[in-house]
């Protein structure tokens, strides 16, 4: 608000500011802050989900009134997807039967529930990968797991893996303690044609590499969550290194016993 070169970005939100009056608007905001600094109410905010320390207590974003969301617009739709619909009793009754149908359902739900525990026990992120031919119900299993947290539809809590590595790491950092569910791993095949080891290692390290912008070092992004993937081929190959193998739980879905879609 107080930077004349950046305040014009408010125009994207409908605020009447442009290059012709940006300096005056920034000057106005600076004067307001100088005069009313002690009277302007403040509220703690956070730009990522999951565990946070606040006044010596551990809280979980977004399930706390002590923190407000102050993240980038690019992740606003994902933040809104972490939502509630129906009742816990209805969900529990339905999922109890679904969970009993197959080991795949039990594993994906367990991996989803385990995600917020990773940081608490001091472990690294891990990947659960379901693979089989199309039509075997892998996506249904992922949606089931993500219904724990919010809207499980594709493009919401369930993400398509047709994205860049930087986008994957940034999304993981935003979710932080909430699981990352990605569908159709094979869409990354052109970039990792020989092996998926690189993506496995980068995701399960739990920290992004350092980046520079102009002459300053950007804040290093980190995460401690689980990753639940699906695809038409294994993520672990015969040539995969031991480090990658130890960080992945890989399950082949029996194509003759498809995971049943019991509802919408």
Q: What is the residue-level pLDDT of the chain in tens, covering all 264 positions?
A: 888 888 988 888 888 898 889 999 999 999 999 999 889 888 899 999 999 999 899 999 999 999 999 887 789 999 999 999 999 999 999 999 888 888 899 999 999 999 999 999 999 999 999 999 888 889 999 999 999 999 999 999 999 998 888 899 999 999 999 999 999 988 887 666 567 898 999 999 999 876 655 556 567 889 999 999 999 999 998 888 899 999 999 999 876 555 544 433
- Distance of alpha carbon 214 from alpha carbon 202, whole angstroms: 25
CB atoms within 10 A of CB 24: 12
Q: Which residues pair with 216 in a beta bridge?
A: 213
**Which pLDDT does position 263 carry in this prediction?**
38
**Which pLDDT does position 102 carry in this prediction?**
85
- Crossing angle of helices 197-205 and 165-175, rounded to 10°: 30
**Which pLDDT does position 261 carry in this prediction?**
41
Sequence-distant (6+) residues with CB within 8 A of 67 are 44, 45, 46, 52, 54, 59, 61
Q: Both tokens of residue 85?
A: 């619909």
CB 144 within 8 A of CB 195: no
CB 139 within 8 A of CB 146: no
- Distance of alpha carbon 13 from alpha carbon 29, whole angstroms: 17
Q: Which residues pair with 68 in a beta bridge?
A: 45
Name the DSSP letter for residue 239: T
pTM: 0.84
């Amino acid at each position: 608000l107080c930077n004349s070169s950046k305040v014009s970005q408010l125009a994207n939100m409908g605020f009447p500011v442009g290059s012709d009056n940006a300096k005056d608007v920034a000057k106005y905001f600076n004067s307001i802050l100088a005069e009313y600094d002690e009277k302007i109410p403040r509220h703690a905010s956070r730009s990522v989900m999951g565990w946070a320390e606040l006044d010596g207590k551990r809280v979980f974003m977004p399930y706390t009134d002590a923190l407000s969301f102050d993240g980038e617009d690019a992740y606003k739709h994902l933040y809104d997807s972490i939502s509630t619909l129906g009742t816990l009793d209805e969900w529990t009754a339905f999922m109890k039967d679904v969970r009993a149908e197959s080991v795949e359902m039990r594993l994906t739900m367990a991996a989803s529930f385990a995600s917020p525990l990773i940081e608490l026990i001091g472990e690294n992120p891990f990947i659960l990968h379901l693979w089989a031919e199309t039509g075997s119900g892998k996506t249904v299993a992922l949606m089931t797991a993500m219904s724990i947290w919010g809207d499980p539809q594709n493009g919401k809590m369930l993400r398509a893996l047709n994205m860049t590595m930087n986008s994957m790491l940034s999304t993981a950092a935003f979710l932080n303690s909430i699981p990352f569910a990605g569908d159709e791993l094979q869409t990354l095949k052109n970039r990792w044609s020989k092996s998926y080891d690189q993506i496995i290692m980068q995701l399960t390290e739990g920290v992004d590499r350092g980046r520079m912008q102009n002459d300053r070092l950007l804040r290093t992004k980190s995460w401690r969550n689980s990753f639940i993937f699906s695809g038409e081929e294994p993520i672990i190959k015969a040539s995969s290194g031991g480090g990658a193998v130890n960080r992945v739980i890989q399950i082949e879905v029996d194509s003759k016993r498809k995971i049943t879609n019991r509802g919408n």
